[in-house]
Structure formats: C-alpha cells, structure tokens
Amino acid sequence: MDLKTCIVVEDEPLARQQIENYISDIDALELKGSFSNGLEAQKFLMNNQIDFCFLDIEMPKLNGMELAKRLKEQKNECKIIFTTAYANFAAESYDVQAIDYLLKPLSKKKFINRVERILSEEQNMDKASLEHIQQEFLFVKTSYQIKKIALKDILYFEGLKDYIQIFTKNEKHPVLILSNFKNILKKLPEEQFMRVHRSYIVNLKKIEIVEKNRIIFGEKFIPISETYKDPFFEFLDDFLL
C-alpha cells in the first residue's frame, strides 16, 4: 500500500498524543505534523501537501468545522477525518465533504480498523482512476518522438507488415509506428476497438456507414473479412433498428 501523509489537529494534549500513537502503528501512514488549534493547521496546510487530516471539532481560535470549510473553499485536497466527542456535527460534516466521522472515545482497535479501511478504499479509487486515464489515450513511439493519441480521435489502424498506421479524425496523414496488432490489441479497450480484417482494427464508436461487407470512413473502404464477420455483425445487431 502506498504511503500516505497526515496531520493531527486536537486541542486536548492527551487525546492528541493518543491519536499520534495510533497513527504510529499504521504502516501506510506518515505523521507530518500535530497541532493544538485550527489556525496553526491552516497555516501548515497552505504550504504543505497532506493526504489526511484527523480533525477535532470543538477547539479554540478556529474550530475544526470552520477549518474544514476554509479548506474546501481553497480547494485543498487534504481529506478530512473528524475525531470528536460530539455526534451532533455528523450531518454538517457531509457539507464539508469529510470522508469519515469518528466518535470519541477512540479505541485503538476501532481507530486502526477504520483508518486502514479508508486507506484501502482510497487506494482502490486511485487504481480505478489510473485505469480510466490509461484507457483514454495511447503513447506511441514514432520516429524520434513519443506521441500521445486520444482514443476518441482514432478512426482505425491499418497493418503494413512490421508497421502500423494510425488514422485519426483531424489529421491528414496517419501516424506510423513499429508494432503489430497483437501488441496494439493488448493496449486497446475491447469494448471500443475491434479487429475486422487481418490488416484493420476499427474504432466502433466512429463507424457511421457499413455497406455490405465493408466499413466506410470518408473515401476509405475497410473490408470485413469472413474470419471477423460474425463478431462484428453481432455487435451491430445490438444497435440495429
């Protein structure tokens, strides 16, 4: 699990020490600061990027709810986990997008279990987000450059022996890369791209005209071979009126 940073904001010294001790037993968390009031924490967060803030609510100078509101207004990405003895702020915590609300007294077991669950959920969300980003584009080597191509812009791929041409909607000339269809298909989302011929892979979302056994992209006619005919027309059947 990736290491995450955190701070503690708590005006009661014993409670603050207790949370610090609990955090020290969570390998995936690194404590970067501990503060007795919201003003000190706000100043620190203005100059430091922190993943999580364990935040008490009832504090002098600047209470935890007000600090959370300020961080939200400033679009600070630090995630708030309230630690408080007062249950009546739970509804308000949703307004500041707190990710959890832990009621005191905090047992070590309960604290660690809840925090480790939060960290696991965050890691899964990070992975899902990365996978989504990776499915939005390709990076391809061409000549002396590495070029980024958005999947939504690709019309089709054409194979030429050891090379592949990538045709996109806004470019007159294709991008030529040294690769093969086996490698290309591993990188493409199968729900969006389909091989229709030994020399062609098409973007299913870009198909506008199918005439007999060929797909028409402007002046380009792409044949649909017998080998790939059945899965392609099964795809079309799902949308055919």
Six-digit token string for 185: 């298909």
Element (H, E) at 209: strand 209-211
Q: What is the pLDDT of residues 151-170, one digit of tens each?
A: 999 999 999 888 999 999 88
- pLDDT exceeds 70 at position 108: yes
* 190, β-bridge pairs: none
Between the alpha carbon of residue 173 and those of residues 24, 168, 169, 176, 197, the distances in Å are: 58, 8, 10, 9, 21
DSSP letter for 174, please.
P
Q: In 3D, which of 7, 1, 3 has the Cα closest to residue 80?
A: 7
% the chain with pLDDT above 90: 59
Q: What is the pLDDT of residues 203-223, one digit of tens each?
A: 999 999 999 899 999 899 999
Six-digit token string for 140: 């391809």
Q: What is the mean pLDDT of residues 18-26?
A: 96
- pLDDT exceeds 80 at position 236: yes
Residue predicted with more confidence, 201 or 238: 201
**pLDDT band of 130, cuts 50, 70, 90:** low
What per-residue string of b and e applies to 110-128 under the rule 16 or more CB within 10 Å gives b? ebbeebeebbeebeeeeee
- pLDDT exceeds 80 at position 133: no
Q: How high is the pLDDT of residue 131?
A: 59
Q: Are 184 and 201 in contact (CB under 8 A)?
A: yes
Q: What is the mean pLDDT of residues 95-102?
A: 85
Residue 124 Ramachandran class (φ > 0 left, ψ -120 to 50 alpha, else beta): alpha
Rounded Cα–Cα distance for residues 45 and 43 (Å)? 6
* Contacts for 228 with CB less than 8 Å, ≥ 6 apart: 194, 195, 196, 197
Residue predicted with more confidence, 227 or 125: 227
pTM: 0.56
- pLDDT exceeds 90 at position 141: no
Between the alpha carbon of residue 32 and those of residues 19, 45, 190, 209, 219, the distances in Å are: 13, 11, 44, 59, 61
Rounded Cα–Cα distance for residues 207 and 202 (Å)? 8
At 216, give phi and psi (nearest 5°).
-110, 120
